[in-house]
Amino acid sequence: MEIVRSQRRTPAAADVALTLPLYRSAPELQIRLEDFELFAVDRLRVLKGISDGLSRGKKPDEVETLVRDLWKSNMSQPQASEVINKDIISHFVLRLVYCRTEELRKWFLSMETTLFRYRFRLKSSEVQRALMAEFDLPYKAVSNAEFENVKEKLGQVADSIGPKKKSMPNADTIFYKVPFEEVPELVAGRRVFLLKGYAYVAMNQVSSLVVTRFRSHLSKALVLTNRKWTSTIREREADRLTPIVESLSTSYLGPDYSQPREFAEISLKDIDQVAKSSFPLCMRHLFEKLREDHHLKHGGRMQFGLFLKGVGLKLDDALAFWKAEFSRKIGAERFDKEYAYGIRHNYGKEGKRTDYTPYSCQKIISSTPGVGDHHGCPFRHFSEENLRAALGKMGVGNRPMEDVMDKVRNRHYQLACTLTFEAVHGSSCDAGINHPNQYFIDSQKILQKVIPFIIFQDPWSNFPHGDYGKIGQMLTMSSSSIYFDMDLTLCRIIPHCRGAVRQGKGVFSEMTSRVLVIFAVAMLDPTCVQAGRL
């Protein structure tokens, strides 16, 4: 893609661009290098948002709303002409980014086609007809005489796919005769009337025609772009555009986790505990392998070390942690000589003093672990047998495990991690998991959420043995504080702790809404109260 000075369009072309660009040729526009990347990142947010919505099984009307909201929040500009330019430029930049492999092309083609489909559906009938003309589709509207001949059949099809009053065709309804092979999704869904090899496509179904043509054009264009990229552009732009293009497909678009955030600060003594409760599977696996082998290769050290930095492990604690493990295999002196520098470097204390950022899910998923490596994404790189074993060890039940495996088979690795999070924590994660450090923080927010209330110091002295329901009702009647005219002790309910502390005089459980309150009484330790969300 060449970046040159802007040229004016003809009025007709401008009118079409104002509705929905067709991206037939690279734009002749002047653009700053910063905008080249920023525009692409904004469009990538839209495409990844669509991808996440589809993988979560959103319905067509929900996807339509999602597309509208994503476009508004990411692609808006002060002037209409600037919106057009950003739309066109961002598409062609990402076309360069995603033309480079078959896997990248497939994803980009699918997401751009989906984006185009819903943007087209949101346009008026007049705009849709104008776009059909731009595609030069060789279809003519069915004449009134022919319409009367097939009206009854069209009505039967319309009645089968929607409310009768809204879907029945009338004299004002426009139909096109189209070779049936050009509208496979309509034929497969039995949403058109077929006669002598032609499908009768209503105006409100015409998006299928346009989208099919758009997808075909873009598919061919991606292959051609790849040829240009490999033959000339990559080498010619080696010092300018190539680094941007090659990094964008694995770009992380979420919050910065290079510095510890809320609920993200751990010390050396905390690691074993939080590894079991709050590490995502990729980091939990690295932690376990480090404990087992007392060593990790470079890729594993980088992935795990930067994660620990991001969750708040201080440099001194990090050095002590890695040294304690590695020294058991190679000795303290060799560790100081060969590995300590790398840890200090990750914390920005050596070399160029760069403050390195923890790896995102996208970067981890795109890595290629070799023999003896343990980094990467378990949902992508583990065998099914090993993944099932690892999930079972985390406490994922049979039913959610099958849901996770289904997402893995469809290569929705981040969604598989999201479902794992939900299964382990018993809490929804609507935003999805996009970063290991996000997983940790969200986990800690759940586990550290404290609901204070007042309980009897010794309720068993005030209630008959076994009268658990009455105690449970009193304990769960408020999310703040409960007061009794007796000797009181302030205790805490910590959500999401599983299992009861069996200590003292007894244990009871009371179901209230979705919360199972498990109460344990101890004469000398009245603070033994835990709660777990079902």
Q: Which residues are part of a known binding site for [4Fe-4S] cluster?
A: 282, 361, 377, 417
Nearest 5°: the CA angle 242, 253, 277 is: 130
- Residue 404 burial by CB count (10 A; 0-12/13-18/19+): exposed, middle or buried? buried
User: From start to end of 428-521, where are the E strands?
Assistant: 451-456, 488-493, 506-512, 515-521
Position of tokens 């099809």? 157
268 DSSP 8-state letter: G
3-class DSSP state of 160 = helix
3-class DSSP state of 521 = strand
Report the C-alpha gap between 298 and 320 in whole angstroms. Answer: 18
HEC readout, 239-293:
CCCHHHHHHHCCCCCCCCCCCCCCCCCCCHHHHHHHHHHHCCHHHHHHHHHHHHH
Report the C-alpha gap between 437 and 356 in whole angstroms. Answer: 14
Q: Which value, to the nearest 10 degrees, does the dihedral of the CA atoms of residues 83, 84, 90, 96 take?
A: -170
- Give, for 226, the enclosing helix (H) or strand (E): helix 207-228
User: From start to end of 414-458, where are the E strands?
Assistant: 451-456
Amino acid at 438: Q
In 3D, which of 478, 480, 489, 494 has the Cα closest to residue 530?
A: 494
- Give, for 195, the enclosing helix (H) or strand (E): strand 193-195
3-class DSSP state of 463 = coil
Binding site, annotated residues: 282, 361, 377, 417
Alpha carbon separation from 168 to 162, 202, 232 (Å, rounded): 9, 11, 55
